[in-house]
């Protein structure tokens, strides 16, 4: 167990810098190419140019997600962005009834193999399941540290940073999609209301 500092008053950049210094090559960053990852990728490119990120490919991502990924790779060429395959091995394809949650959780385990900590774009205002997120917390389910540098950021903070640095971002954000996942399970909506709309489900399992 490490001596854990209280990072709640620290800036997002300082939280990331601490994580990079403390965990080094054992740090991974989750990247779904949403607006929060635009911010994190830019910060990481400045703090740790060779940082490793990972994205999970379920095979049913929006075409815009794939295009945004290409923009990220062009804008941040020093970052390593690994793609972890979570496609349905049966070839049947994903539907809302046959959710990708299990496969995504398994892919996350693959992505985090050998890691000591992972960085996420979680923000407290995204919804009740994320309201208690701390900037550095223990992911007890996986035996890792979880780093949430943007935990106290508002939506306005995110957009202001993107504008200030002219960063690429997912174009579906301009069409009412605040949270973007797999195409079969995502509709326009504020917060996470567009994810699994009409169902009680609010998380795919990566952050539970």
Euclidean distance between CA atoms 199 and 90, whole angstroms: 26
- Phi, psi dihedrals of residue 117, rounded to the nearest 5°: -160, 155
Maximum distance among all Cα pairs of the chain, rounded to whole angstroms = 47
204 as an active site residue: the answer is yes
Euclidean distance between CA atoms 35 and 156, whole angstroms: 11
Euclidean distance between CA atoms 56 and 85, whole angstroms: 6
Euclidean distance between CA atoms 123 and 148, whole angstroms: 8
Active site residue ranges = 204
């Amino acid at each position: 167990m490490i001596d854990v500092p209280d990072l709640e008053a620290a800036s997002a950049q300082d939280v990331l810098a601490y994580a990079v210094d403390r965990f080094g090559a054992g740090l991974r960053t989750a990247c779904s190419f949403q607006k929060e990852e635009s911010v994190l990728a830019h910060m990481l490119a400045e703090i740790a140019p060779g940082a490793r990120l990972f994205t999970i490919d379920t095979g049913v991502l929006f075409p815009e997600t794939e295009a945004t990924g290409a923009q990220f790779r062009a804008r941040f060429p020093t970052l390593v962005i690994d793609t972890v395959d979570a496609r349905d091995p049966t070839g049947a394809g994903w539907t809302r009834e046959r959710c990708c949650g299990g496969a995504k959780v398994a892919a996350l385990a693959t992505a985090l193999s050998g890691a000591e900590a992972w960085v996420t774009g979680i923000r407290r205002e995204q919804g009740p399941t994320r309201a208690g997120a701390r900037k550095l917390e223990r992911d007890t389910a996986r035996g890792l540290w979880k780093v949430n540098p943007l935990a106290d950021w508002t939506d306005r903070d995110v957009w202001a940073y993107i504008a200030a640095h002219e960063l690429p971002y997912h174009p579906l954000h301009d069409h009412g999609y605040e949270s973007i996942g797999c195409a079969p399970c995502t509709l326009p909506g504020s917060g996470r209301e567009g994810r699994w709309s009409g169902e009680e489900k609010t998380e795919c399992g990566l952050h539970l």
